[in-house]
Structure 1
Amino acid sequence: MPSDQNAVPRPSEPSGSFPRRAFTTAVGATAAGVAVGAAAGPASAAPAAGQERSAPHEAVAEKPFRAARGKHSRRPNILYILGDDLGWADLSSYGAPHIRTPNLDRLGRQGVRFTDAYSGSATCSPTRFSLYTGRYPGRTAGGLAEPIADRSVGLEPTHPTLASLLRGTGYATALIGKWHCGYLPDYSPTKSGWDEFFGNFGGALEYYSKLGLGGEYDLYEGDAEYKDLRYYTRILTERASEYVRRDHDKPWLLNLNFTTPHWPWIADGDTEESAEVVRQIKAGNRAALFHNDGGSVEKYRQMVEDLDRSVGKVLDALKKSGQEEDTLVFFASDNGGERFSYQWPLSGSKSSLQEGGIRVPALLRWPARIDPGQVSDVPVFSPDWTATLLEIAGARPAPAYPLDGTSLGGYLLRGERVAERDLFWRVRGERAVRRGDWKYYRGKGGADQLFNLREDQREQANRAAEKPALLAELRASWERTDAELLPYPS
């Protein structure tokens, strides 16, 4: 049975049998050609005789389907919400002892809470590349920047995206909040499949002045500057609430990308701290937004709890609009936590391929199709959600741009087992692969390490000497995938 939603997740929690509502004819027919796993990247090579590999997760289709009510046969609206630099345990439902997140906790209780969900990379923009394209960041030049910090690269408008593929099937598409996949004039959400864009182009901005890392003003509606000097999280919450309340005549995708709780550590009402950061920016201190002289655990708590309230307001607007049943809501972070994040018991943080840098909270709710109160420990990562949403919406990936993610539609909606596969990560100086319970990791020190995450999610007990064959197999898997990707610029 599913684990208790209120318990702090640990690797020993089993994946429960998911009692699910099945696709109805309308959704199933449009998605029939997109089989679960069909969008996956290259399969891992089978182990040689006698080599170790982890046991697969048990099949979950133990209970009969519960047929969905006919009025919910339409394709869902999709509300995909990202927090920014929010750590795995920064929500109270994931174990934070000092942060209260009742709205996000409730979202998890109303659907599925994932204990072993990962970002596509360890920093902001490459993860967004992996989500928008469904592919490893290293397949595109823009994805090699970790993260994008100048105007030389971005997400090429010719590359298919989640938004462009859904728009091709009749979805309305919008992105509100942080883009961080390239700058004007060459790169923009409106050039990559989103009908509407309201937000910031860069990786960070000061919450009141909207000044970015280069000292430039960075709040736009479409491709034009938009002046609003109120607290940024409030503005995004208002915009997103307005979007979901509209009288839509077609299904919609809304990517809602908060910058909270990314630095600078400025909570709503901190106008004096804001003014000091702005003073430093205008004085030529380009490092002012990093806020190395500011912030605290208490300030971070305020920002995370503000994010929770903001998500709650958007979800309340969705409910009042009458679209709650037919809207798939997904919430996650773009990577692991930063300086003031609560990461226990994980090691590492943002920018690292240790668990603390890439394992993130992830919550999914779709009342018309997915039963509440479920906890899953199946390992998943950002490109999987691209493949999943495309399948659910009846969209096909472009043949010339095969996905690296695996659709979880069959697992979530039809009770099918998720086939064992390798999750791959690469950043400069680090590498990692997860297969089942096992993780291969090489950090900047250059030593290959092997961890059993079910027994040791803190990554302290290196099992490399004990299981050399498994280590070699996972290292070879990483090297095969790496050979397919673009090399980092020297």
Structure 2
Amino acid sequence: MKQLTICILSIMLLSIMATAQNKKPNIVIIYVDDLGYGDLSSYGATEVNTPNVDKLANGGVKFTDGHCSAATCTPSRYSLLTGRYAFRKDAAVLPGDAPLLISTDRATLPGMLKQNGYNTAVIGKWHLGLGNGDVDWNGKVAPGPLEIGFDYSYLIPSTGDRVPSVMLENHHVVGLDQEDPIEISYKKKVGTDPTGIENPELLRYPSDKFHGKTIVNGVSRIGYMSGGNSARFRDETVPYQMLHKARTFIDEHQEEPFFLYFAFHDIHVPRLPDARFQGATDMGVRGDAIVQMDYITGELVKHLEKRGLSENTIIVFSSDNGPVLDDGYTDESVERLGKHQPAGPYRGNKYSAYEAGTRVPTIVYWPGTIVARESDALVTQTDLYASFAELVGHELEASEAPDSEAMWSTFAGESFEGREYLLEESVTLALRHGQYKYIHPTKKNPSWIKLEKNIEAGVSTEAQLFDLSNDVGEQENIASKNKKLVKKLQKEIERIQNNEVTR
């Protein structure tokens, strides 16, 4: 009997071990806003210290040629979640009252993972539109994340510099008093709330006219808002609220695979770090917001460790586009920059066709499975969809994630083979091919990028070609000396434009 009992217990133990080994890994994407290639100490920053993110970089695969898909936020987020280039949707940075950008019948990363047994959540900045163009902020706000594959959502509806300045949990505004209804307009003033243009004396720091509408929490925003006073967020507490919701989601689903898309608002404007981080750097609020982001990242990782989930959780850490200093608010980010180089050695910033527009910190961390190493493989966030599908054994349909390539072995550091061609979206299209960077000529003249942001747009009516192996700063245009290569890269861009299904 004793031997039989031992035998049964052994079988049970082996069964438990097999189940644990066969369990699909949890997936967490930590998505920072406006974080540049040079904004982390693990990527060369010396004026700011980011020990928690550095832990991920030093313990996982740190990519030195990792890219978001576009030089602005909405297009990058669209491509990340759909595996589809944003130019196909003509996606641009959305106003706060825009309808849902992702069609409810389109396959998405959370939807694919949900089909494969995952519980899915998005927490943080959304900026992909909500509703069908006639959102009632006082009722059910839909369609939204729950209609495109997420089981749970806790959102800043658009982004922090745009109204409505509230949090949205699933379909409803958090903390709303129905006797103080919300009214939103991006065309004309509503209500009697002060604005930055009319009442600059009420502001914590000045803004341009575009950001000079309704004042919330001492900062003027884009668009007009009336009502909803009990629901209006305090920028300083939003990161903690996000962390709390993420911990709760993890706790509720720790016994089954989960996907968490944790989308920071930091370090996007308006930059209003909590008091505990003010003065953490000599760079003012932008530097302090980086430290705050690093702290919240560390607390999220610690919670996974505390629950014993870290070795079964893949963490992808990256940014939605390159860095920007003055993006509508005079918050001393320019004046106090000092020796810090937000874009590292690369040319351009957010909005730019140059390399710094899309080359961002990219880290994949999976302790116990992924070996720590640095990789110079050419990778893009657009490929996460097909790569995770490959990992969980999901066979993509012909029209699903059409621009995404399965590259899990590269993301896991098992291979150093990256993309042959990598598309970068901005005002125009650019293409990476090995050491070469080609920027498609365009007649568009986005003068506001230079005039308002002091950023080089990187566009020209002439073809631009750079050899990054000896010209990392994209200073010498060698297109006229390499006409055959220019023609080849131009044809590849045209092929991508005309062929949605690239697999």
**Paired residues for 1:287-366 under 5 Å:** 297-339=283-325, 340=333, 342-366=342-366
Match of 2:44 among 90, 95, 112: 95
Quick check: 2:61–2:412 contact (8 Å CA) kept in 1?
no
C-alpha distance after superposition, 1:357-389 (max 9, x if no partner): 1110011111242112x0011111111112111
CA distance in 1, matches of 2:468, 2:459: 20
Ranges in structure 2 where 5+ consecutive residues have no aligned partner: 1-16, 132-140, 176-230, 326-332, 334-340, 441-457
Instruction: Give the match's secondary structure for 2:345.
Output: coil
Secondary structure, aligned partner of 1:330: strand
- Counterpart residue number, 2:408: 409
- Partner of 1:110 in structure 2? 59
Write the mapping of 1:69-468 to structure 2, written as runs, cut at 5 A. Answer: 71-141=20-90, 144-152=91-99, 154-184=101-131, 185-205=141-161, 213-214=162-163, 216-227=164-175, 229-230=233-234, 231-269=237-275, 297-339=283-325, 340=333, 342-372=342-372, 374-412=373-411, 415-416=414-415, 418=417, 420-428=419-427, 430-442=428-440, 443-468=458-483
The aligned residue for residue 209 of structure 2 is none
User: Please, what TM-score do these two structures have when normalized by structure 1?
Assistant: 0.74
1:446 positional shift = 1.5
CA distance in 2, matches of 1:256, 1:314: 10
Partners in 2 of 1:146 and 1:226 — Cα distance? 25
- Deviation at 1:257? 0.3
User: In structure 2, how many angstroms separate the alpha carbons of the residues matched to 1:410 and 1:232?
Assistant: 36
Q: TM-score, normalised by structure 2?
A: 0.72
Supply the AA of the counterpart residue of 1:94. Answer: Y
Residue 413 of structure 1 deviates from its aligned partner by: 5.0
CA contact (8 A) 2:466 2:474 kept: yes
Aligned pair in 2 of structure 1 residues 338, 187: CA closer, same or farther (>3 Å)?
farther
Q: Is the 8 A contact 1:171 1:250 kept in 2?
A: yes
Give, in whole Å, the separation in 2 of the partners of 1:158 and 1:105: 39
Q: Deviations over 1:297-331 (max 9, x none)?
A: 32111000110000000000000000110000110
- Contact 2:82–2:107 (8 Å) recurs in 1: yes
Q: 1:151 to 1:71 in 2, by over 3 A?
A: closer
CA contact (8 A) 1:125 1:148 kept: no
Aligned to 2:226: none
Q: How many residues align?
A: 384
In structure 2, distance between residues paired with 1:112 and 1:360:
14
SS in 2 for 1:451: strand
2:385 and 2:401 in contact (8 A); partners too: no
Moved more, 329-338 or 295-304: 295-304
Distance 1:375 1:266 in 2: 33
Counterpart Cα distance in 2 of 1:414 and 1:457 = 24
CA distance in 1, matches of 2:277, 2:416: 51
* Unpaired runs of at least 5, structure 1: 1-67, 206-212, 273-294, 486-490
Q: Which has the higher contact order (CA 8 A, sep 6+)?
A: 1
Quick check: which has more Rg, 1 or 2? 2
Counterparts in 2 of 1:357 and 1:320: CA distance versus 1, 3 Å: same
Match of 1:275 in 2: none
Quick one: which amino acid aligns to residue 150 of structure 2? W
CA distance in 2, matches of 1:78, 1:133: 16
Distance verdict in 2 for CA 1:413–1:311, change over 3 Å: closer
After superposing the two structures, state which structure 1 stretch, 231-240 or 111-120, moved more: 231-240
Are the structure 2 counterparts of residues 321 and 271 from structure 1 closer, same or farther at C-alpha, using a change threshold of 3 Å? closer
- Is the 8 Å Cα contact of residues 154 and 187 (structure 1) preserved in structure 2? no
CA contact (8 A) 1:181 1:187 kept: no
Deviation at 1:69, TM superposition (A): 9.7
> What is the CA-CA distance between 1:247 and the residue it aligns to?
5.0
In structure 1, C-alpha distance between the alignment counterparts of 2:350 and 2:369, rounded to whole Å = 34
Q: Secondary structure at the match of 2:123?
A: strand
8 Å CA contact 1:85, 1:336 repeated in 2: yes
- Matching residue's letter, 1:223: H
What one-letter code is carried by the residue in structure 2 that aligns with 1:393?
Answer: V
Q: What percentage of residue pairs aligned between the two structures are identical?
A: 30
Instruction: Output the CA distance in 2 between the equivalents of 1:415 and 1:217.
Output: 44
| Aligned partner letter, 2:158 | G
Q: Which residue of 1 aligns with 2:202?
A: none
What amino acid is the match of 1:447? E
Is contact 1:387-1:403 (8 Å) kept?
no
